[in-house]
A and B are shown apart, each in its own frame.
Chain A
Amino acid sequence: KAGVTQTPRYLIKTRGQQVTLSCSPISGHRSVSWYQQTPGQGLQFLFEYFSETQRNKGNFPGRFSGRQFSNSRSEMNVSTLELGDSALYLCASSPQATYEQYFGPGTRLTVT
């Protein structure tokens, strides 16, 4: 089975812009979660989608949003980018009934 894929792998944006990141889960996985990884804060949970519905949300401002499509692919959007949004954004997918998550390689976002 192919693993979790994320596009793009690297992105450079300027402050004030917006960005959309994409995640394709493992085939058959219906849950997709997003995390932000930074050296200072570690891995922080952003949100989780299951069957196109957001089931859980972390403590991030409303500038961070996401959605999931009927084929389980997910997108994450960050509007009005700030320098502090520079991070590795990780997507993880899991099967319906378990909590074991499989991670993608991440998208490295740099905001200048």
Chain B
Amino acid sequence: AQSVSQHNHHVILSEAASLELGCNYSYGGTVNLFWYVQYPGQHLQLLLKYFSGDPLVKGIKGFEAEFIKSKFSFNLRKPSVQWSDTAEYFCAVNGNTDKLIFGTGTRLQVFP
């Protein structure tokens, strides 16, 4: 069965700090990978996605993620966070079905 692990449950940073959120998945076949963000009081929005091609994908708001197949990882990065990045971040994986399996989420708090 597919599963997704997000090891960082709660991350606290100051503005301008760099961010890296871990995501590992368990599925041996071809995968589609996603990062979603949920800002306070808002619905889930797609940050970025990987289907194939360049393993370094760029998303909205300066976020990027790198797919490392050998490590079954799809970590999210941002060089310099802003207070407005405070949100919950979810990694999600879709393998050979139309089920989207989510990680448990990482709550990011950015202080000015």
Q: Which A residues have a C-beta under 8 Å from some C-beta of B? A: 31, 33, 35, 41-45, 48, 50, 55-56, 58, 90, 92, 98-106
Q: Which B residues have a C-beta under 8 Å from some C-beta of A? A: 32, 34, 36, 42-46, 49, 51, 90, 92, 94, 97-105
A90–B100 contact, CB under 8 A? no
Determine the distance from Cα of A43 to Cα of B105 in the docked complex, in whole angstroms.
Answer: 9
Query: How many A-B Cβ pairs are below 8 Å?
Result: 53
B43–A99 contact, CB under 8 A? no
Complex interface: chain A residues within 8 A of B97 (CB): 55-56
Most chain B C-beta atoms within 10 Å of own C-beta, residue among A45, A56, A102: A45
A6 and chain B: residue at smallest CB distance: B43
A-B contacts, 9 of them at CB < 8 A, read: A45-B100, A48-B99, A56-B97, A58-B99, A98-B51, A99-B98, A100-B34, A100-B49, A106-B43
The 3 closest A-B pairs by CB, nearest first: A43-B102, A103-B44, A42-B104
Determine the distance from Cα of A106 to Cα of B47 in the docked complex, in whole angstroms.
Answer: 19
Besides the known contacts A42-B104, A103-B43, A105-B43, 8 further A-B residue pairs in the complex with CB atoms under 8 A apart = A42-B105, A43-B92, A43-B102, A45-B100, A48-B99, A99-B94, A99-B100, A103-B44
